[in-house]
Amino acid sequence: MSNDEPMTGDAVPRELPRGPHGLARDVVEASQRERMLDAIVGAVAHKGYAGTTVADVVSRAGVSRKTFYEHFRDKEDCFLEAYDAGVELLMAEIRAAGEDVPDWQERMRARVRAYLARLAEEPAFARAYLIEVFAAGEAALERRRAVHARLSKFGRELNVEARREFPEMPEVPEEVFVAAFGAINELLSSYVGEGRTSELLELQEPIEYVQMSLFGGPRAEHDG
């Protein structure tokens, strides 16, 4: 996968052989679809969502406009599907990173690293996911809110585990986790926007600090 392609998997041939190939129609269509999803993320990363056209997508994907419209209603539909596909792979990697880690703090660190590493390895997707999503309309923003809710669930799970080990820890309101992950993604966006996507792993420690600080709860007035 190149640096201007999203995380859409390798379940089908990325490029079809030239001439008669004997491949089933569903294999051909799946390959075309995946290439178009890759193409729109690459185009959006290069030109911005507003500047990207269907012509850019079909040119990068090596398909016809007719093929594009057989799969997608329009540019927005294609972008949203690419966004969803990338998010699902990202979430699966975060979840898998902590599956075999018994300690909740180490699980948190493993998941933060998986999140940052995947975005650093996929700069085009990182830009689409963190920055260009704002230009893609209300449906895209709704998906972004849903992603933050899913990320906050990881934090909630860790808080529950931590409170089993340390019952004196306060329960954290759901809104606090959502706010924290929103702030974390704003930090990531600043790096991506500055062209520093390859440096995202440098943010592991400050992000861990933010997450750990959630578990302390608000300080009482007399503690200050």
Q: Is pLDDT above 80 for 217? A: no
Number of Cβ within a 10 Å radius of residue 156: 17
Residue 24 has what pLDDT? 66
Length of the chain: 224
pLDDT-based confidence at 43, cuts 50/70/90? Answer: very high
Q: Is pLDDT above 50 for 8? A: no
Minimum mean pLDDT range among 49-58, 178-187, 197-206: 178-187
pLDDT-based confidence at 29, cuts 50/70/90? Answer: confident
Alpha carbon distance 25, 8 (integer Å): 20
pLDDT-based confidence at 37, cuts 50/70/90? Answer: very high
What domains are defined for the chain? 76-223 (1.10.357.10)
Residue 117 has what pLDDT? 97
Minimum mean pLDDT range among 32-36, 51-55, 103-107, 186-190: 103-107
Residue 91 has what pLDDT? 95
Alpha carbon distance 14, 103 (integer Å): 39
Q: What is the mean pLDDT of the chain?
A: 86
- Tell me the per-residue pLDDT of 118-146, one tens digit each, with 9 for 90 and over: 999 999 999 999 999 999 999 999 999 99
Phi-psi group of 52: left, alpha or beta (phi > 0 → left; psi -120 to 50 → alpha; rest → beta):
beta
Question: What contacts 95, CB < 8 A, 6 or more positions away?
Answer: 111, 154
Minimum mean pLDDT range among 12-26, 69-83, 180-194: 12-26
Burial class of residue 81 in the structure, from the number of CB atoms within 10 Å of its CB (0-12 exposed, 13-18 middle, 19+ buried): middle
Q: Nearest 5°: CA angle at 85, between 137 and 81?
A: 40
Q: Is pLDDT above 80 for 162? A: yes
Contact 37, 15 (CB under 8 A): no
Residue 216 has what pLDDT? 66
Cα–Cα nearest to 207, from 191, 220, 195: 191
pTM for the model: 0.82
Helix residue ranges per DSSP H, the chain: 25-47, 54-61, 65-71, 75-97, 104-121, 123-130, 138-165, 174-193, 204-214
Q: Is pLDDT above 90 for 214? A: no
Number of Cβ within a 10 Å radius of residue 155: 23
